[in-house]
Copies of this chain bind each other. A is one copy, B any other.
């Protein structure tokens, strides 16, 4: 199943080398002002183009199929599609015999008995994140007074991001990074104890982003080395403001009115220009292998807006459930 949310429900569809990719947003209230151009700033932030990103460039012009009339949502399901106009499927024929290490090629072939669309990763391609960003813009509109801001705070272990990219280009090897996300203005009481804790729902959404391998809220892993008296955030007024924010704005799974803060680990892109080794099912041996196609050297550069988008989707759903 490729959908998320109970009330504000987002479903994505499409493949890297199909004609379109798209998203349906169900459960959005009527009357939210929205135009196709409202989507462009966040879509632009996700786009390739900068040093360290793929030479495959898509125009990423959204087309509203349904659910929007006279520049407002109508209350009906909203479907948005994006044309794929820059595909080179010939690049991918080799994948079937030599699954790319770190990619889903091998597991998808096994899972779907070879029926998966293997071109460019098919449905599991990062291309689909364009649909997440589109849904995220609408989610952000619903959360109006809430502000979500994600930034790349480290790349390849280096907090000087430009330097990290330069070195990766020089070494011709892909790198990962850490994305930090802060949410302000969220009211007290969003989330539920246990299964629908804010951490559960946000992490569910965040791990939907390809290449994410870790998440920590507030002090996170560092909290495991603190004592209770160091970690506890003293409550300083009747609105629940706290002196410190080691909890990352969440107690018992529920927002406490302070800033929500979490950090996301993005692994290096699997498609490094370096020679690698993989199983060649034709020759029946492990053989050296170089990835074809056009890829990002530091995909983490394009991840912050996707982190913001899925966070907005998760919070819009939690908030509408109240």
Which residues of A approach B to under 8 Å, CB–CB?
A: 1-4, 6-7, 9, 11-15, 18-22, 24, 26-27, 30-31, 65-67, 69-70, 72-79, 81, 99, 101-104, 106-108, 110-113, 115-117, 121-124, 128, 154, 156-157, 168, 171, 173-178, 188-189, 192-197, 199-201, 203-205, 207-208, 210, 212-221, 223-238, 240, 242-243, 246-248, 251-256, 265-272, 274, 276-279, 281, 284, 286, 300, 321
B13 near A67: Cβ-Cβ < 8 Å: yes
User: Could you say which residues of chain B place their CB within 8 Å of the CB of A196?
Assistant: 1-2
Q: Which residues of B contact A251 (CB under 8 A)?
A: 102-104, 106-107
Q: Are A110 and B189 CB-contacts (below 8 A) given A214-B221, A224-B154, A228-B173? A: yes
- Given contacts A115-B31, A234-B276, A286-B234, whether A240 and B106 have CB atoms under 8 Å apart is yes
> In this complex, what residue of B is CB-closest to A229?
B274
Instruction: Decide if A66 touches B101 in the complex (CB within 8 Å).
Output: no
A300 surroundings in chain B (CB, below 8 A): 224
Which residues of the partner chain B approach A240 to less than 8 Å between Cβ atoms?
Answer: 106-107, 110, 279
Question: How far is it, in angstroms, between the C-alpha of A316 and the C-alpha of B137 when the chains are bound?
Answer: 31
**A65-B77 contact given A2-B26, A156-B224, A235-B106, CB 8 Å threshold:** no
* B123 and A223 within 8 A (CB): no
- Which residues of B are found within 8 Å of A67, using beta-carbon distances? 13, 123
Contacts of A217 in B (CB 8 A): 213-214
B66 pairs with A229, CB closer than 8 A: no
Q: Is the CB of B2 within 8 A of A112?
A: no
> In angstroms, how far is the closest chain B Cβ from the Cβ of A296?
10
Residues of B within 8 A of A213 (CB): 199, 216-221, 223, 247-248
Q: Contact between B265 and A107 (Cβ–Cβ < 8 Å)?
A: no
The residue that A278 contacts in the complex, of B199, B234, B268, with Cβ under 8 A, is: B234
7 sample A-B contacts, Cβ–Cβ < 8 Å, listed by A number: A1-B321, A157-B224, A223-B265, A228-B274, A234-B276, A236-B277, A236-B279
- Closest Cβ neighbor of A9 among chain B residues: B1
Q: Are A278 and B235 in contact (CB under 8 A)?
A: yes
A267 proximity list for chain B (CB < 8 A): 219, 223-224, 226, 231, 246
Q: Which residues of B contact A11 (CB under 8 A)?
A: 3, 11, 24, 26, 77
A121 closest partner in B (C-beta): B252
Q: A173 near B106 (CB under 8 angstroms)?
A: no
B9 and A236 contacting across the interface, CB-CB below 8 Å: no
Q: Which residue of B lies closest to A216 (CB)?
A: B214
- Which chain B residues lie closer than 8 Å to A234 at the CB level? 101, 276-278, 286
Which residues from B are CB-within-8-Å of A113?
30-31
Known: A108-B254, A234-B277, A251-B107. A175 touches B228 (CB 8 A): yes
Question: Bound state CA distance, A125 and B155, in angstroms?
Answer: 39
Give every chain B residue within 8 A of A224 (Cβ-Cβ): 154, 156-157, 176-178, 265-267, 300
